[in-house]
């Protein structure tokens, strides 16, 4: 009998790829959705990913990070849990607790339910946001031993706070009341790769803005890149490998790239169709002048000019994880967005 895995947030960008990878590997999958109507979104994304009919191997449970309702039923009979769901807004909220509370309390709800259902292991989708922020400029490379410093006085976004506090709370829960439940975390950098639906990561949103020509100038930001398919495969390794219990794993495929460097690769990939894509950089003073009028811009200011390097060596060494190249991740994003555009035309 196939093992059953619960994936929270199966209609999201990373969640859908995790569901797809599990089903292709022969697992039974139950995934949480906020409303029954989102089941159609999950099935549509699986079809885009090449799985037209999951049959009885895929089931759904309605549960929300902000409520206890439905979580006991969601985890019942599951051997493992991939807790992928987390709030990720397109703009900074007025109140940071709109992100922090559901991220932290949602993680604890999932862990309590998993413990009570005698689940063997939970893999939590955390982020590099919980590792490399709140530190002064440095040339060192961040690893899984590092934590974001929320008490340094260096500004960080509400999203960074939410991911840091949620992961901290998860490890504290395991230490104090996990009762044998195992935990591993996957901490991706900027996630690109094929978009199966229109629930994008912020990195995919940036690529879409570049491709659509909506940015006359690019912000002076740099970030690491990893393909969403490799993020999903790392979740499976962290779920199944005995040595992954109690460990954090950074998911990164390459050194940091600047937004203009990403744009330049996209221009080359698209050929003549990419000539409208700019590689020019927006002056910092322009962004700062816009900050009083935009929460999104204000939230991005701490990232302007910052270069935060990270290493994915641990996952490769310990688990044999082998990520795709940055070109595969970027071009996979661009090609999937083009396919969506053709379908919507």
pLDDT tens readout for residues 250-261: 999 988 998 899
Separation CA 191–CA 329 (nearest Å):
8
pLDDT for the residue numbered 300: 64
Q: Are 75 and 95 in contact (CB under 8 A)?
A: no
The b-or-e profile of 13-42 (16+ CB within 10 A means b, else e) is bbbbbbbbbbbeeebbbbbbbeeeebbebb
Q: What is the largest CA-CA distance in the chain?
A: 60
* pLDDT tens digit sequence for 162-199: 999 999 999 999 999 999 999 999 999 999 999 999 88
The DSSP 8-state label assigned to residue 293 in this structure reads: G
Mean pLDDT of 238-247: 98
Could you give all domains of the chain from N- to C-terminal order, each with its CATH number?
4-344 (3.40.50.720)
Name the average pLDDT for the chain. 91
Catalytic residue numbers read 163
Torsion of CA 152, 281, 163, 156, to 10 degrees: 20
Residue 345 has pLDDT above 50, yes or no: no
Residue with tokens 């019942």: 76
Instruction: Quick: pLDDT tens for 138-153.
Output: 778 999 999 999 999 9
Distance CA 243, CA 249 (A): 12
Query: What pLDDT, in 10s, does the model give residues 197-242?
Result: 988 888 898 899 889 887 788 888 889 999 999 999 999 999 999 9
Residue 92 pLDDT: 67
Q: Average pLDDT in the 3-8 region?
A: 97
Average pLDDT estimate for 273-300? 70
The 10s digit of each residue's pLDDT in 46-90 is 999 999 888 999 999 999 999 999 999 999 999 999 999 987 665
Give the DSSP H or E segment for 191.
Answer: strand 190-192
* Secondary structure letter of residue 179 according to DSSP: T
29-44 residue pLDDT tens: 999 999 999 999 999 9
What tokens were used for 182? 């195992």
Q: What is the pLDDT of residue 290?
A: 58
Q: How confident is the model over 310-324, as a mean pLDDT?
A: 97
């Amino acid at each position: 009998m196939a093992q059953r895995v619960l994936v929270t947030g199966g209609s999201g960008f990373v969640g859908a790829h995790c569901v797809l990878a599990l089903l292709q590997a022969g697992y039974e999958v139950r995934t949480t959705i906020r409303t029954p109507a989102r089941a159609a979104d999950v099935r549509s994304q699986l079809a885009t990913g090449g799985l037209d009919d999951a049959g009885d191997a895929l089931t759904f449970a309605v549960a929300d990070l902000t409520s206890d309702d439905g979580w006991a039923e969601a985890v019942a009979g599951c051997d493992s849990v991939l807790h992928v769901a987390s709030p990720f807004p397109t703009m900074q909220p007025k109140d940071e607790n709109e992100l922090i509370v559901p991220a932290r309390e949602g993680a604890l709800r999932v862990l309590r339910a998993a413990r009570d259902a005698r689940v063997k292991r939970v893999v939590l989708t955390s982020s590099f946001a919980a590792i490399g922020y709140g530190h002064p400029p440095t040339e060192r490379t961040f690893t899984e031993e590092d934590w974001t410093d929320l008490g340094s006085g260096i500004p960080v976004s509400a999203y960074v706070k939410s991911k840091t506090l949620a992961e901290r709370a998860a490890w504290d829960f395991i230490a104090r009341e996990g009762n044998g439940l195992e935990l591993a975390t996957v901490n991706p950098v900027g996630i690109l790769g094929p978009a199966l639906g229109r629930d994008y990561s912020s990195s995919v949103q940036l690529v879409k803005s570049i491709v659509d020509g909506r940015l006359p100038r690019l912000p002076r930001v740099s970030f690491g890149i990893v393909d969403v398919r490799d993020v999903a495969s790392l979740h499976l390794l962290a779920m199944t490998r005995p040595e992954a219990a109690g460990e954090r794993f950074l998911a990164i495929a390459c050194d940091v790239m600047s937004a203009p460097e990403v744009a330049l690769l996209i221009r080359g990939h698209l050929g003549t169709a990419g000539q409208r894509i700019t590689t020019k950089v927006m002056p910092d003073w322009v962004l700062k002048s816009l900050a009083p009028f935009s929460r999104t811009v204000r939230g991005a200011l701490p990232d302007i000019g910052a270069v935060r390097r990270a290493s994915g060596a641990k996952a490769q060494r310990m688990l044999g994880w082998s990520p795709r190249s940055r070109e595969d991740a970027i071009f996979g994003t661009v090609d999937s967005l083009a396919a969506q555009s053709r379908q919507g035309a």
